Structure 1
Amino acid sequence: MSLDNPHISGGDDLPGFHNLLGYRQVSWEEDEAVISLELQPRHLNLGGVIHGGVLTSLLDIAMAEAGTYCPYPGRMRKAITLSLTTTFTGQCSGGVIRVTGRKRAGGTRIFNSTGEVHDEQGNLLAIAEGTFRIRSGSEKPEGVPI
């Protein structure tokens, strides 16, 4: 799925904390979501490299999206994070990073996802595993109105 799809947004179209991060949706389909972020000074820690909280937040978003794809424009599915484990494997201070979330297993309400973050050169920056719960009303593919 591409950004041309009317129910994929990014950047300034995102609500709250998502807007603060400023990521873009690259693709979103059943069991996989990809987002990207052009690093800005606000994303860096005191050492001048991407902050671990930014990486963890992006992984959380992409992994939750992997289990909540909704093919219906104007509607969405929602999930909450039950657990999230992040391992940091590299650093970068500029460019565009790419975050991929993949749903690995799950039932009607609970699912598990994994995620990876890579820099522009393909270097692995972080990996994660998470468990998510589908929110009430979001169990069916048509989800809820946005």
Structure 2
Amino acid sequence: MLDPSLKEEPYPFQTILGFAVLDWSDGYCRLEQPMVPHINNRNGIPHGGLHATLLDTAMGYAVCYTGDPDDRQTGMTLSLNVQYLAVAKGKTLIAEGRRTGGGRTNVFTEGEIRDETGNLIATATAVFRLRGSTKG
């Protein structure tokens, strides 16, 4: 469950896609994306770039958690590897990201996307570089 004090206004790209952060804690993030027509490719299924975006975002949030709404940790993706496994069913994509290791600057993550029926749709690993926080 997302601590209400950590809820942020959606940024423009998030607004276009329509995903929401539902859970965010130290080393973990969960997003949900409605399966709406504007996220589909020309074959009528969610575009692979959307999967990469959701995974990158969930894993990025997982490593940037501070627990303090006035202290925003920033980071950047150094590498992102996505494996596409299945076509989603239903009306919602659920992306989860987890921190798996690393140090103070470079951190390692893994993520997955499932559809609302629990089918595994995509997995990913990534490396992020933490860039500092708003409190220094």
Report the TM range for the smaller structure's normalisation: over 0.9
Q: 4+ residue stretches of structure 1 with deviation over 2 A?
A: none
TM-score of the two chains, using structure 2 as the length reference: 0.92
| Structure with more strand by fraction | 2
Q: Distance in 2 between matches of 1:19 and 1:77?
A: 21
Partner of residue 105, structure 2: 109
Paired residues in the alignment total 135
Q: CA RMSD in A?
A: 1.4
1:44-71 alpha-carbon deviations (Å, 9 max, x no partner): 1111111000000000000111111021
- Which runs of 5 or more structure 2 residues have no equivalent in the other structure? none
1:81-102 alpha-carbon deviations (Å, 9 max, x no partner): 0000000001126501110000
Partner of residue 29, structure 1: 25
Which of these residues, 123, 128, 135, is aligned with residue 127 of structure 1?
123
TM-score of the two chains, using structure 1 as the length reference: 0.86
Contact 1:29 1:69 in 2 (8 A): yes
Partner of residue 6, structure 2: 7
**Equivalent residue runs for 1:61-80 within 5 Å:** 61-80=57-76
Q: Distance in 1 between matches of 2:13 and 2:123?
A: 21
